Structure 1
């Protein structure tokens, strides 16, 4: 493990590092992949979360969010499209609302309870959230 041309004993989430992986071809990995101790992380497609929807004044949406809304979810540099299901019998969420929802991603990614993410649509951030539970 190397950071800023110095060898390191360890790296943490958010560190900018270079890693030599013997036996792995460059084409087999891509930006956003997770490097972790075997068995320490799992990938999930579905999770429940607490979300805040930005108002138009905050640079967010002008219109409500409804079930099956499918924005991009960014966990650091890892992005996936996800479809939402509002919880507590809600049919819509207005800009400025804080609420819980369930998200089904189009692919499994390494996430866990407590992870933070951004919700983006059309190149702008429209919300933020925290994973509560993975399924």
Structure 2
């Protein structure tokens, strides 16, 4: 485990929130919409019992930040069963710093039900 302490001179303690990213200006952007490859954990391994459909909402955990998001399935997919991989477009309720290959967990009711990787930030 690595612990890092930073002194942000002139920044009040409440000016920084959990999940924020400290980066050199211009090296990373914030997005609220992105394409991703996801995997839903099978129920037998602690995942969901039922499939997901268009408009499914869940919690997406990036680094130390969790944010609510909605999934759009591709036009040729009506649902994604636990145990399957899928390409989805996610719209988050707030933008976060991201880039391709950023990994995330998908959680419901306090348990991890899936995992994913950002393939393309959109907007």
Shorter-chain TM-score above 0.5: yes
CA positional deviation for 1:122: 0.5
Query: Comparing 15-24 with 30-39, which one deviates more in the overlay?
Result: 15-24
Q: Between the two structures, name the one with larger relative contact order (CA 8 Å, sep ≥ 6).
A: 2
Residue in structure 2 matched with residue 71 of structure 1 by the alignment? 58
Q: Distance in 1 between matches of 2:68 and 2:98?
A: 14
Q: Distance in 1 between matches of 2:62 and 2:108?
A: 14
Q: 2:73 aligns with which of 80, 86, 101?
A: 86
CA positional deviation for 1:50: 0.5
2:13 maps to 1:26: yes
Q: Distance in 2 between matches of 1:65 and 1:99?
A: 11
Q: Deviations over 1:19-57 (max 9, x none)?
A: 000111111111111000011110000000000000101
2:32 maps to 1:45: yes
Structure 1 portions without partners, runs of 5+: 1-13
Give TM-score scaled by structure 2 length. Answer: 0.95
Structure 2 portions without partners, runs of 5+: none
Q: 2:4 aligns with which of 4, 13, 17?
A: 17
2:82 maps to 1:95: yes
Q: Distance in 2 between matches of 1:43 and 1:16?
A: 25
CA positional deviation for 1:16: 2.8
Runs (4+) off by over 3 Å: none
Rg larger in structure: 1
The structure where strand makes up a greater share of residues is 2
Residue in structure 2 matched with residue 36 of structure 1 by the alignment? 23
CA RMSD of aligned residues (A): 1.1
Say how many residue pairs are matched: 122
